[in-house]
Structure 1
């Protein structure tokens, strides 16, 4: 939670010109919990924003660099940029010296540039990467060698401890002799039953058939001999590929990871799950004029996760050793006993708690791109991150190779749910020591744990969030990103592991992400502020280093706009002991004249931070808020409880009660506007999309006098219809915790509507289904409500793509506010 450390901290603000380099920004005092982004460009105060301009194709803003990464020799960077007027991306190379944005990489050379996840050999002399499904290697002399050339998809190149190259095609692993180019199969993982020697059929008739009919008996002998001969050939002839590892039919491989010594492979499998034929999405606007029934995700009500089985497979003899979860503390704990008891009591029943074998598997989900299996570079140790599918536990375990068992190293338990961020972990390079992130203190911090230690050591401390740790090759430093000085300001830091001291490396203000160069001497920075879209910058990887701008991709048209920089304020809360950090957009003369109209914006995603000082993904909304400000509105954008960046308690405040703490925060926000921003309580509206649309529903339904009008865009109306990975974290599942779903779903509170409501719904939304709006509209009709209208968008997914749709949507929102505020 944002405590005294943030309430009195100093915050850096960014001062940029159009030049390609700039000095370190001087910090400004964060006085009375107010922070404002500094002016960045020379603007034209006469410009008036128009809806047509704001909602046009965003190319007019500029086209920020994407997917940037370092060249292998740390002498330049590569990045992609959207082609003007097209969805295609072009690659650019930007040398560290120079004064422009770099040059386009010719298509004929794209296979040579490497990738963001290039793999290095143990001696750092070789690099391997994937380009268009094929494997490439850069030799020590800089020459690029193509390893595969086919239309098959090859992936996951890795170098073994002896510098041998490995890659994967499907679930078959190959090793490569770089001197000859020969690829040899190491092991193939198959979801089939293992072939068996032909067996004599049982039963009287079958046995008599074999005795009486010579042809049948001979056929049986031939099959047996062929099976035995094939086995003997594989055993005796080294030119043949090894026998595959079979895991049974109707199984699915979740993940696999090969040891750097190529002696073992860890494999996670689960029962294959057929598609749910009920989950379809009608698409009415198709090329052939027919209605297309497109398959979509499962609903949380229907989806049941399959537990995973973990196997240690020997590449020496092919044996498979199942790794039991029974050594994990709490593996059979009834962690939902209180929830089950409450729901049973509501039905007039009594729940008796007992031991429950929990469903467990790798920490692999839609929200986490890293591998949950991490080998030490020596191949002597492996760490595995596991989670319970009830979302209450995360474990890190290693493997005892002699006993073929899991050895618990760390358990993170959360009565609400374990965060789907902050799960980075790995090994020190030169010792059997783990490092990892954990929220166990209430904030994401860095920990280390030597395998010979009984407990982990916390390395960072404070009311801030640590993310994206990067360890140097000599184990001297851990680089990371954190919001130390202010919850909305993210800078780059490094931890000296020998002295346990932390150094701040950037002081740019706003949002700064980083990539450490391969030579570990430089940082590639991706930086933005509220008023400046993201561009690329360069700094030495040391404190007080000069920062050099590598790209300037913002358009002259955008730079000329007289945009208002929102202030970040700490709105006092009557419901928690911590303030609600919020952006406020003020008109220039807001303290003069009569009380103002105001709009409260509700950000989407729930767990998202929007009141930070970086460039917002809601850039259209940012510009719309500036348009409103030009017309005298005040705009408030709150990081209500559930938002990212403020610690575990802020995140989990919505557990089993979505739409309760957030709306309490909106009440406090409205009260603050009236008391501090010259706002008329009877002239305040609200809007938001996705989670923000859900909040608009809950605000108008549960606090019907709080706002005079609201717009809910692509909104959730019933959480039982949303997806499993997100919803089950917060509300458990409907079969276990129906109370939480009824407490949290707007459709159960729609009778409270008595103010104008606009519902905007895309029809080909495979995230929040159009069905959400259809069901709620029918509910409102049956409740004889009249103060609502619905706008549908037949060709739009969850995130609109067509400028005409954006324009139509925001014209309707603007009209709603103009007519009712």
Structure 2
């Protein structure tokens, strides 16, 4: 009997050990086996202390917009269920009018570029329970007027207004033409680099529209072959201003719905400029616009009089490198405004009068404000997110608009992000860390106390416990130059300090970016853990130029993209090579986009440090990239030729000694496949052997169907063979 129990215990231990050592597979990663639960399309209402969430019912195969109470978290009702409206085949996104008695619903969306898309749009009347489609065509960026009676939208590069009651469409502009004139919608480079698509806005009294017009007639065209299985390829042709080339000519216009007349704002005192943002103030006759010079080191906040289109500069910001555009401009009831800026060396919150006179720098310190949530008129408090608790962490805070009474409202170290109730009594906090899957809780805004848990990912954590995954350790690497760099390390679970391990370094390194952050796993993280299960140490280092450590650290790469960033990765690899458990002859590096630019440069310029590199969708010369992004950090090629050429990997191919895998998609509208084709030719003429893979009709993300699985299988096999 004793022998029986000993045998049973051994069998159980063996069984548990087998379960604990379950290995991650690429198939699991890319079929969503480790997907987290969340709150899709979480939308805080403004007229009631309520919020909505978009849900899916697997039994009925329908989608619902459900309404919840902030105070109790109880479900109040289902506002709309697609099963009741056969014409509505799903809900892609939705928004409310100001009174929140109507919902604008997008369906059947068709992607254009990264942010832009067309879709069928419907208006759902909550009181009448009626669903009305806005016209017969797919349109762009429909937006309710503040009074809810009209919807402005774009169609085929022109602006229209739809009357909700009469269902009549009024055309505002008539000169829109593909690859020539765009009204109210941004061009490719604005969308990609200024990150907005809707270039029009309603005033508060719903009788005026401000909009930007883009004349891209003289912008050079870029074309991409599209194969799509046809007998003959077709071509996608679009305007793409590369560094130093002609940009679209932009102009600012005001349309008066009462008179049906359009006025042009006189911006003739600016030359070769950008209108990076436009937004009506709380004064129905005053439109604001953020105007940048081409170098992006001078920004004017303009107030434009809607009656006569006259303008005045209310605020000016300059920088020896570049000024970042703010999305946090908020007008208060007295038309004073909140503004965020890094003019003191760190990104902070400022309060200005409506005339542009500084009232108070609300936050200050050697840390960055990373999100502005809003201002509560009743308590006179501002709510925001910052990295005061360490640059890899995010916490939610409140502070008086007078800069007093700052309070940390989140207690768990990691990444916290808030969605506040309209009366600022509560917020829904989404929290995660490198070791804790996302959890959503209801918190009080006064002290940050947790009232109730809403969503957790305990089931995912239990599932992952079967894999006995390695942890992500955070540390700081100090290079020989004395520079301290945030770092994370993933070691094999059965790590043996007496063994020598190959190292794969991962980075992105783009200006203001961050990869070393205390938050839950990305898809790449699971791949890195899979590699750790196969005996690799994976390391990520955020070098100079990355964000959230102040302007000096971020902007030191100005005019020299790829110089200090590459130095830091090479120097960090050298430090790693001194660790007893690192095989310094087996260090590789992997990156995508800017990270691909970096991986290439590191392998070529650090040929005695790196054995292997994988570069996906890399920029190989900044001469090939767009004007807005590149010139912000580099000025133009005409002004800074050496900065462009000295740090471009395409000019260092002759130094290649190790193993190189180059990957690109042919339909990459962002970093054109031209970058890799020119690199390939340079490598060929340098008589260098390398591996490469081209993905037909795939964009910058290289995905769709089995694409990611095939790509990551290729990259895994390459590392197993070459590192």
Q: Which residue of 1 aligns with 2:553?
A: 650
The within-5 A match list for 1:257-656 is 257-262=201-206, 264-273=208-217, 276-277=220-221, 279-284=222-227, 286-295=228-237, 298=240, 300-301=242-243, 303-312=245-254, 321-325=263-267, 358-364=271-277, 372-376=278-282, 378-379=283-284, 381-400=286-305, 404-419=309-324, 422-428=326-332, 430-452=333-355, 454-455=357-358, 457-472=360-375, 474=377, 476-498=380-402, 500-546=404-450, 548-552=452-456, 555=460, 557-575=463-481, 578-588=483-493, 590=495, 592-603=497-508, 607-616=512-521, 619-656=522-559
Paired position in structure 2 for 1:134: 122
Q: Does the CA-based 8 Å contact 1:423-1:438 persist in structure 2?
A: no
8 Å contact kept, 1:655–1:731: yes
Counterpart contact for 1:698–1:749, Cα < 8 Å:
yes
Cα distance in 1 for partners of 2:613, 2:435 equals 27
- With normalisation by structure 2, the TM-score equals 0.81
CA distance in 2: counterparts of 1:393 and 1:43, whole angstroms: 62
1:409-451: per-residue Cα shift (whole Å, max 9, x none)?
211222322225x4320200x2120111112122221111112
Q: 1:164–1:175: 8 Å Cα contact kept in structure 2? A: no
Cα distance in structure 1, aligned partners of 2:466 and 2:451: 24
Shift of residue 148 of structure 1? 6.3
Matched, 1:673 2:661: no
Gaps of 5+ in 2: 1-15, 107-119, 186-198
- The residue correspondences of 1:152-163 to structure 2 (distance < 5 A) are 152=137, 153=139, 156-158=142-144, 160=146, 163=147
Do the aligned partners of 1:119 and 1:128 also contact (CA within 8 Å) in 2? yes
Deviation (angstroms), 1:820:
4.3
Q: CA deviation at 1:500?
A: 3.3
Equivalent pair of 1:572/1:668 in contact (CA under 8 Å): no
Output one character per residue of 1:701-747: Cα deviation in whole Å (capped at 9) or x when no partner: 11211112222222221222223332232223334433222123211
Distance 1:571 1:437 in 2: 31
Question: 2:664 — aligned with what?
Answer: 761
The match for 1:107 is: 82
Correspondence 1:711 to 2:695: no
What SS does structure 1 have at the residue aligned with 2:290? strand
| Whole-angstrom CA distance in 2 between matches of 1:697 and 1:147 | 53
Aligned equivalents of 2:709, 2:143: Cα separation in 1: 46
Q: Secondary structure at the match of 2:252?
A: strand
For each residue in 1:737-781, what CA deviation from the matched residue of structure 2 results, as whole angstroms up to 9, or x when unmatched? Answer: 332221232111111111121222333333322222222122111
- What CA distance in whole angstroms lies between the structure 2 residues aligned with 1:547 and 1:705? 56
Whether the 8 Å contact between 2:290 and 2:300 is mirrored in structure 1 is: yes
- Cα distance in 1 for partners of 2:625, 2:57 equals 32
2:115 corresponds in structure 1 to: none
Q: Which residue of 1 aligns with 2:708?
A: 806
Aligned to 2:643: 740
CA contact (8 A) 1:64 1:533 kept: no
- Secondary structure of 2:406's aligned partner: strand
Instruction: Identify if the C-alpha distance between structure 1 residues 64 and 400 changes in structure 2 by more than 3 Å, giving closer, same or farther.
Output: closer
- CA distance in 1 between partners of 2:97 and 2:266 (Å): 32
Change over 3 Å in CA distance of 1:777–1:149 after alignment to 2: closer
Partner of 2:692: 790
Alignment of 1:87-98 (within 5 A): 90-91=63-64, 93=66, 95=68
Distance 1:104 1:790, change over 3 A: farther
Q: How many angstroms apart in 2 are the aligned matches of 1:137 and 1:467?
A: 37
Question: What is the deviation of 1:612?
Answer: 0.5
* Structure-to-structure mapping, 1:198-237, within 5 angstroms: none
Distance 1:682 1:552 in 2: 43
Give the Cα–Cα distance (whole angstroms) in 1 for the partners of residues 712 and 304 of structure 2.
56
The question of whether the paired residues in 2 share the 8 Å contact of 1:524 and 1:538 is answered with yes
Secondary structure of the structure 2 residue equivalent to 1:684:
strand
Q: How many residues align?
A: 663
Partner of 1:3: none
Return the structure number with greater relative CO, CA threshold 8 A, min gap 6: 1
Secondary structure of the corresponding residue to residue 428 of structure 2: strand
The alpha carbon displacement at 1:509 in A equals: 2.6
| TM-fit CA distance, 1:483 | 1.5
Cα distance, 1:500–1:135 mapped onto 2, change above 3 Å = farther
Equivalent position of 1:120 in the other structure? 98
**Equivalent residue for 1:190?**
173
- Counterpart-to-counterpart distance in 1, 2:447 and 2:73: 24
In our comparison, the structure showing a higher alpha carbon Rg is 1
SS of structure 2 residue aligned to 1:693: helix
Question: Which shifted more, 107-116 or 167-176?
Answer: 107-116
d(CA) in 2 for partners of 1:637 and 1:82? 40
Structure with greater strand percent: 2
Partners of 2:175 and 2:667 lie apart in 1 by 37
Residues 580 and 251 of structure 1: CA distance in aligned 2, closer, same or farther (over 3 Å): closer
Structure 1, unaligned stretches of length 5 or more? Answer: 1-41, 194-248, 332-356, 365-371
* Cα distance in 1 between the residues matched to 2:608 and 2:149: 66
Q: Does the 8 Å CA contact 1:120/1:128 hold for their aligned counterparts?
A: no
How far the C-alpha of 1:495 sits from its partner, in A, is 2.3
Post-superposition shift, 1:667?
2.5
- Give the 3 Å change call, closer, same or farther, for CA 297–753 of structure 1 in structure 2: farther
Between 529-538 and 111-120, report the one with greater CA deviation: 111-120
TM superposition shift of 1:609 = 1.3
Deviation digits for residues 455-514 of structure 1, max 9, x if unmatched?
353111122222332334626222222111011111222222256332222223322222
What is the Cα deviation at residue 166 of structure 1?
3.3
Determine the structure 2 residue equivalent to 1:12: none
Deviation at 1:540, TM superposition (A): 2.5
1:580: Cα distance to partner? 1.0
Q: Aligned pair in 2 of structure 1 residues 663, 166: CA closer, same or farther (>3 Å)?
A: same
Q: Is the 8 A contact 1:373 1:384 kept in 2?
A: yes
Summarize deviations over 1:118-177 as a string: whole Å, max 9, x none: 3324xxx75664555233455xxx6656676543548654455xx56332244234566x
